Amino acid sequence: MLYLLTFLAGGFAEMFVSDKLVVPGDAAATASHILAHRGLFQLAFAVYLIEMASQIALTSIFYDLLKPVNRSIALLATFLSLAGCIVKTLSRLFFIAPLLVLGDAHYLTQIHG
């Protein structure tokens, strides 16, 4: 079930949202689409976090399954998998950054001179 959740969540966020919002070669159109479909963009971010939670749970399950075979290799695989999850989760913070940059926050309109 966790593999299915991971594949479906990743597929939704990568294929459906990216195809709907990203215009290759046109940053202004992409920014316009992101602002026009803010809820969908935020949903994609939430789905990415669900995908990572599923991946972490899978890592834990695989450690428990592989620990009786060879504990040190299972621990190494767990460490590498968790490191990948951390890197991917941190990179997803850049996914949500356009909403912060393109938003209508008051600090974006103030000119310091």
**Domain contains 31:** yes
How does the average pLDDT of the chain come out, rounded? 86
**Domain contains 60:** yes
Contact of 62 with 78, CB cutoff 8 Å:
yes
Res 92 pLDDT > 70: yes
Residue 105 or 37, more confident: 37
**Domain contains 87:** yes
Domain count, the chain: 1
**Domain contains 33:** yes
Res 84 pLDDT > 90: yes
Q: Which amino acid belongs to residue 113?
A: G
Q: How far apart are the first and last CA of the chain?
A: 56
- What's this model's pTM, rounded to 2 decimal places? 0.77
Q: How does pLDDT run across 41-76, given as a tens digit for each residue?
A: 889 889 989 999 999 999 999 999 999 999 999 999
**Domain contains 76:** yes
Residue 74 or 97, more confident: 74
**Domain contains 99:** yes
Query: Which contacts of 90-94 are long-range, i.e. CB under 8 A and separated by 24 or more positions?
Result: 92/45, 92/48, 92/49, 92/52
Domain range spanning residue 94? Answer: 2-108
**Domain contains 113:** no
